[in-house]
Amino acid sequence: MPVDPQLQQIDLAVIAVAATAEFWATSSATVRSALLEGLAQALEAHQIELVALADEETRLGAGRLSGEVARTAFQLRGFATEVRNGVPYASVDDPAIAGAPPAGRPRLIRVNEPLGPVAMFSASNFPFAFSVLGGDTASALAAGCPVVVKSHSGHPRLSQAVFDIAQGVLKAQGLPAGLLGLVSGASRAAGTYLVQHPHIAAVAFTGSFGGGTALWRAANERPVPVPFFGELGSINPLIALPDILARDGQALASILAGSITMGCGQFCTSPGVIVLLPGEASDRFVDHLATALQPLATHAMLTPAMRQGFDHGVAQLEQAAQARPLFQAAADTRGPAPRLFEVDAQAFIDNAHLREEVFGPCAVVVRAASVAQVNQVLSAIDGTLTATLWGFEQADESARSIYRSARKVAGRVLFGGVPTGVAVTAAQQHGGPWPASTQPQTTSVGYAALQRFLRPVALQDAPAWTLENPGTCA
């Protein structure tokens, strides 16, 4: 046992969680779904005091936080339904075929094995939906994996309160307390220790590029590397064609200004880059956007470090010779005043700093000279969670080529609306090429998220007794 009390705390939590791994991996759909539903119900039952506590720690406001509790309960129940429908227990059965290979073959049944204990790093910006009982925990539990949560330093008391409620549910259902562990107040070194703990089989993370890559390296440098499901950053380009802007530019500008400032811009899906083609409609749209954005007041950012990060990103844009501010920033309210910059497409392509995520109420308008240059802009962007296309109703050559470029860099392509707001469904994809996700073939929102924590096993010529319940081998 290490002497450092933080590391001791992690050892104790991980050992307790690991002790439940076999029980949970072989648990029935009835037991698993009842836990997920019980957790949803308990969250809702304690909504008033939890929202008050969350508001004290995050200042996100009761309205937004209540909505997040509803979403968190909804996704816990959604995963319960997936479990009841047998998704984590699904198998594929290829009967034997007599004769020589390659046509002849033994019987093969492909089943899923839960990975084992998951270390989950809570996100700062979703104190419910991506925290102790958020999507990562719900999907891991649904897959049959117990979870150790590393609470976020931005909402430690809320994390403890939600954890205590979850412990009450485990007790009431006669389940082991170790199915869910909590590590709080952990230093960066202790977080790394958790990722490298020999009993940890996978890691889920939402946060910064710097923190995420540090922990991703730690996961890969272990004697036995483990999967690291990280969501690290995204600039979410929006491409608007002139025709739609000519038709509806003012209303669209107002909707976009709302999306840029929603939650003080602290959303991984916040639209950070708006790509426009030449023309009067685009020029007018930029004016409308500046007019709509400038007076909007924001609330305080989640942590002083985030505010520092925002100020640094804005200063970097202000100092870049190629970036022009589109209005004089108003005085800060409780949070930072919104910012809007404009750059030429070539400068955006040439200067990587102009393409960095500025987490907060800030966006950059990129002026492209042609459709070909829009495609170059999209190719210059690293992987992104979303790309939004406005005005792509008609299938002409330009629309097709931009659509192709968008699909190559984004996890979700929207043909209208704004990217903030992520529905929890079976078809949802919240990921994308690096650095949007460290594992672009996976999603961290939606029911496919549970597949991250399952490993396929092929059973060849398995005897009948193993097939009584092939999904769980129980």
Nearer to ligand NAP, 89 or 126 (CB): 126
* Footprint (CB under 6 A) of ligand NAP, residues 122-141: 123-125
Q: Is 307 in the site for ligand NAP (CB under 6 A)?
A: no
Which listed residue (264, 306, 323, 337) binds ligand NAP by CB under 6 A? Answer: 306
> For this structure, is 362 an active site residue?
no
Q: Which of 68, 82, 264, 268 is labelled catalytic?
A: 268
Which listed residue (79, 359, 390, 447) binds ligand NAP by CB under 6 A? Answer: 359
Q: Which of 68, 231, 342, 356 is labelled catalytic?
A: 231
> Of 74-82, 116-124, 242-250, 387-395, which part binds ligand NAP (CB under 6 A)?
116-124
- What is the distance between the alpha carbons of residues 375 and 459, in angstroms, rounded to a whole number? 46
Q: Is 335 in the site for ligand NAP (CB under 6 A)?
A: no
**Contact between 250 and 214 (Cβ < 8 Å):** no
> For this structure, is 393 an active site residue?
no
The least CB distance from residue 261 to ligand NAP, in Å, is 16
Q: Is 298 in the site for ligand NAP (CB under 6 A)?
A: no
Q: Is 268 in the site for ligand NAP (CB under 6 A)?
A: yes
Which listed residue (21, 215, 274, 378) binds ligand NAP by CB under 6 A? Answer: 215
Q: Is 121 in the site for ligand NAP (CB under 6 A)?
A: yes
- What are the CA-CA distances from residue 203 to residues 44, 66, 88, 280 (Å)? 27, 28, 19, 49
Nearer to ligand NAP, 206 or 442 (CB): 206
- What is the distance between the alpha carbons of residues 341 and 346, in angstroms, rounded to a whole number? 15
Kindly report the number of other CB atoms within 10 A of residue 387's CB atom: 30
Which listed residue (47, 153, 167, 401) binds ligand NAP by CB under 6 A? Answer: 153
- Which residue is associated with the tokens 């204990």? 117
> Of 40-48, 204-212, 254-262, 348-356, which part binds ligand NAP (CB under 6 A)?
204-212
Which listed residue (61, 67, 211, 440) binds ligand NAP by CB under 6 A? Answer: 211
> Of 166-174, 202-210, 220-228, 416-424, which part binds ligand NAP (CB under 6 A)?
202-210
Residues that bind ligand NAP (rule: CB under 6 A) add up to a total of 26
Q: Is 207 in the site for ligand NAP (CB under 6 A)?
A: yes
The least CB distance from residue 434 to ligand NAP, in Å, is 12
Q: Is 232 in the site for ligand NAP (CB under 6 A)?
A: yes
**Contact between 418 and 259 (Cβ < 8 Å):** yes
Q: Is 236 in the site for ligand NAP (CB under 6 A)?
A: no
Q: Is 150 in the site for ligand NAP (CB under 6 A)?
A: yes
Contact residues: ligand NAP, CB under 6 A: 121, 123-125, 150, 152-153, 188, 191-192, 206-208, 211-212, 214-215, 231-234, 268, 306, 309, 357, 359
Catalytic residues: 231, 268
